[in-house]
Amino acid sequence: MDLGWIIGHAKVSFDHAPQTAKLKTKLGTEVSLSQLCGSATPPCHLNPLLFNGHLQTFWTAVKSQDIPIHYKRRVFENEDPTFKGTYAVDFVSHTPNTEPDSTLPPRTTYFTDEEFHRISSDDDKPMLVTLHGLSGGSHEIYLRHVLAPLVGRGEDGGWEACVVNSRGCAMSKITSTVLYNARATWDMRQTVKWLRKTFPNRKLFAIGFSLGANILTNYLGEEGDACLLNAAVVVSNPWTLDVSSLALQRTWLGRNVYLTVMGTSMRNLVEQHVEQVSKNPRIDMDRVRKAKYLYEFDREVQGPTWGYPTEGAYYRDASSADAVMAVKIPLFAIHAKDDPIAVDEACPYEEIKANPHVVLCATDLGGHLSWFQSSGERWFVKPAVNFFNKMARDIDLEESRRNRRYCLLVEMSDMSISGISAK
């Protein structure tokens, strides 16, 4: 056993390009992305009783302290006919909801039309867009751990935030046969565009957890230098989905605990919306109901829905391991090497090292979305919150964006000159 665990200390390491992107500070100086991420990351002191990734991950099922976050929900219709249907966005409300709505998660109510029409603002508060994990939603405790200090009144506060719920999650309705999958970036894309139009002076940031981290990374890669976000964090990203799935299938715990629990949660989600889902002629509900493991569910639902011949083909296409090389905004990835779900062998270390806009912080222990400390708090909240506040408060984001685009143009020019010379 690593003696560090006896006193609750986990090793922290960083992987990134030899020279990471230079960021201009509001004081006129420069700091590299790797330096900023390093300064945002405190020592990792975890609960010594939770001494491996399985125990850390299992502890998420134990009832912990409540973190009250109140939301106002708005249902959007996706404008892209390819991905027709509605999706729900929950906006953090600074006024407690006094009249609970039993059709929504706790502390969540709908905007009235009047309230929503008054939501636009010219303020310059930083705003966080959040993507949850598999079959989760805005009610998940792990994301509320991050939202609470940012939207609170303490020294880390002053932010606005919203959660983009995957279709059918968090008691939202599915209004078409189009579900979400591991690269479902379309609702995120529309939300970010809407936020930029509605809050023109706000700097936009994003965080994704687990499957939401994979979706967010794919979105960042698809947007490239045109991305409207200023920076992002991903936590416990499974990265290479086929590798993670095969790793889970190799062990008893992987098959009979993790894959079974995740398969059951997705099967239950489909059952909640069976009236709509069953309208898809490609889906055989009898076969879906017999699916035990997550990969069996994906074989019967995601494959037929999106035209993949096998779940492996779906996993390879939806993985974000290659997309990370196309990211052009500062991205801070937080990963535990003993994560039993987003396994370490699926983490694209070399791809991350090839992109100066990405820094990976890896701990040798911590589990999946866990990193529990003796206090019950989750360690990953600290580097994530610190990173966001350093980016929002210390960095001249407009100047850094201009500098990034200049470097990109120089790089493209050098490539063009090299091509001419080669001829």
Q: From CA 305, how far away is CA 156, in angstroms rounded? A: 42
**Terminal Cα-to-Cα distance of the chain (whole angstroms):** 58
How many CB atoms within 10 Å of residue 312? 17
Q: From CA 90, how far away is CA 129, in angstroms rounded? A: 10
Strands 86-93 vs 70-77: parallel, antiparallel or unpaired: antiparallel
Phi, psi of 342 (to 5 degrees): -90, 75
Q: From CA 364, how far away is CA 91, in angstroms rounded? A: 35
For residue 15, give the 3-state DSSP assignment.
Answer: strand
Residues 6 or more apart in contact with residue 47 via CB below 8 angstroms: 8, 59, 372, 373, 374
Active site residues: 210, 339, 368
**Sequence letter at residue 423:** K
Q: From CA 398, how far away is CA 305, in angstroms rounded? A: 41
* Exposed/middle/buried for residue 86 (C-beta within 10 Å: 0-12, 13-18, 19+): middle
Tokens 């390093």, located at residue: 38
